[in-house]
Structures are given as structure tokens and as C-alpha cells.
Amino acid sequence: MITLNQLISLYQDIGSRHKQVNDFMAVQDFNIEMDRAPTYPLLVVNPVSANMPKSEGGYTVFNTTLELQVLDLVNKDNNNRMDVMSDTQQIIADIVTEFSTHPYYMDNSIDTVSDISFDPIRGAYGGDVDGWKISVTLEHPVKLSYCGNPVENIQGFDFSAPTKVTVTDNENPSSPIELYGGDTYTCIVTDPKAGIQYQRPQPTAQLTSYRTGDDAWRVANMPYSDAPANPLYAQELVDFFTLKHDNAFGNRLRFTDINGLQTITSDPTGQPDASYRYIVDNLTGLGMAYQSTYVGSNKSWNDAVDECLSLSA
């Protein structure tokens, strides 16, 4: 998020780069203290209001409204009054155009909000000073979270399965100012709970692989997928056939078919539906396929490994 001081610095930067602006002031209620004589044409900004509109995504933008005045001296005989009004109006139009079209502001998601009305100023501050004023609202993104706030953690609040995250609020450190500061915060956040932690079978103690597909090869080349960082629960058994927690299908059956149903029969190869021939062990998260060609006393070790490889996903 851009602070008010940083936002004022944006206007000051534009004023310093505009070839027709010779001075800049940021004041409250346009209470210009003439402790120094300004050099005209003069750009003056005055903070008016700010708000954070709430959307479906939360508080994602910040709207800050400032009143701008661009003023210039009018000759005693008023012979340049129309020139002053024309030039100061054009300067304000240039500022608004830069905010709405320059890639710097577009890349940083900074833009003007709503239409802008120009009001003339004549004889400002008791002198021969004319110009124009506008009220302009700039919308800029809110890139804040509790993670980056300089606030101690809530006492007694337990972050389960914490993950340490470094948040660097320094996305666009470009001239004229670093819009998002550059402070780095480290905080503890919790990944959303998701997934089931299964009880994976332990591999054998085989260390040397003798062929593709044996146990040592599988450990090195086809390891189990990583457990969820913050699971809903670790799966357990009530008894051999019943789970303590819901399986991925929403019931507590340990053994199901691929649709989460208990359609297993004593002779699955006789069933027309292939789902009957596939068993999911919802304790381990692993599946087993059954085909008559996979069993028999005539299978060698190599035949059995080849069959298993053909089933692996």
C-alpha cells in the first residue's frame, strides 16, 4: 500500500519534472504560510479524504482523495489573466493524463477514479494569483496482511503445521520512489488444511536394484507422493475394515472400488464392470488391480514384476 507521504511524493515528482511548474507545496486546508515566497507557477496539494472499499476479495484497494491547485501570478493590468487560466488548466490536465496513461502507474495499478471537474480560482490568498483546482482520487492496491504488520502475534494462538514465509514488500522499487517501501517481514502462516495423510507401507530393506521395477528401483524412481503439508487428519483404523476418519469418497470403508463403493466379490474377474476388479485401500491410499492373468503358480519373479509395472500409474 502507498502511504500518504509516498502519494504526495508522486505529485512532487511530477511537479519537479513538469517544465511549466516551478514550485510545489503540500499543505493542510490550503493554509499556505508565506514564510517563503513561492515561485510560480505553483502546484499545491491538500489531503481531503481516504477510504478502503470492501469487495468480495476483501480490502484490496485504497482510495485517497487530494485537492490539487495550480496557480500563477497575474499581471497588475490583468493582461495575462487568460493565459494564466489556460496554462494552469493545461498543467492539471497533464498531471491527470500522466496518472491515467503512463506505464509506471499502470504497472503499479495506480489509477484515477471517476470524472474530474475543474473549478477556477481567482485572487487566491489575497493576491494577484489565479488558476484552477480539482479533486482527484487515486486508487492503488492494498498489499497488506497480518503477516506484514508490525504487530506481535496474538498471545496463546497456536499456528498448526506452521510454514515460515518471508514476505518482501518491495515489488516495484523504481524511480521516483519505492512505492511499496522495501521492508522485509518474516512471519508464521498456516497452509489451508487439505488432503489425507495415509499410512504408506514401508519398503523392504533391499538396497541393490537387480532390475527395473524391483523394490530398490521403486524407492529411487517411483517414491510415494509427498504427504499434504497440513492434512485434514492422519488416517487410522477402528478395526481391520473400518476407518477412523472419512476416506476420499466420504465414507469410512477401508476397502472400496474406484468409485468408493464396496462392490468387491469373491470372483471379481466375472464382473462386467471394471471397477469391481480394482480395490482401493483407503488406509494406505494405494490401489490393487485383480485379473486372472496376474495370478497363478506359473509366474516367475520377473513375470510378477512385469505385471506390477504394467499396473503402475
Maximum distance among all Cα pairs of the chain, rounded to whole angstroms:
116
pLDDT at 82: 95
Mean pLDDT over 151-174 rounds to: 51
| Residues contacting residue 145 through CB under 8 Å, at least 6 positions apart | 167
pLDDT at 44: 93
- Confidence band for 72, pLDDT divided at 50, 70 and 90: very high
Cα angle: 85, vertex 90, 92; to 5 degrees: 100
- The domain segmentation of the chain, as residue ranges, is 4-141, 146-190, 196-311
| Chain centre distance of CA 313 | 34
- Confidence band for 184, pLDDT divided at 50, 70 and 90: very low
| Residues contacting residue 26 through CB under 8 Å, at least 6 positions apart | 8, 11, 12, 44, 45, 46
Mean pLDDT over 199-214 rounds to: 84
Q: Is 3.30.70.1700 the CATH classification of the domain at 4-141?
A: yes
CA gyration radius, the chain:
35
What pTM was computed for the model?
Answer: 0.50
The overall average pLDDT reported for the chain is 79
Instruction: Look at 91-105, 137-151, 158-172 and tell me which has the smallest mean pLDDT.
Output: 158-172
Task: Give the per-residue SS3 of the chain.
Answer: CCCHHHHHHHHHHHHHHCCCCCEEEECCCCCCCCCCCCCCCEEEEEEEEEECCCECCECCEEEEEEEEEEEEECCCCCCCHHHHHHHHHHHHHHHHHHHHHCHHHHHCCCEEECCCCCEEECCHHHCCEEEEEEEEEEEEECCCCHHHCCCCCCCCCCCCCEEEEEEECCCCEECCEECCCCCEEEEEEECCCCCEECCCCCCCCCCCCCCCCCHHHHHHHCCCCCCCCCCCEECCEEECCEECCCCCCCCCECEECCCCCCCCCCCHHHCCCHHHHEEEECCCCEEEECCHHHCCCCCCHHHHHHHHHHHCC
Residues of the chain with pLDDT > 90: what percent?
Answer: 33
pLDDT at 166: 44
Q: Contact at 8 Å (CB) between 67 and 31? A: no
More confident residue, 84 or 273: 84
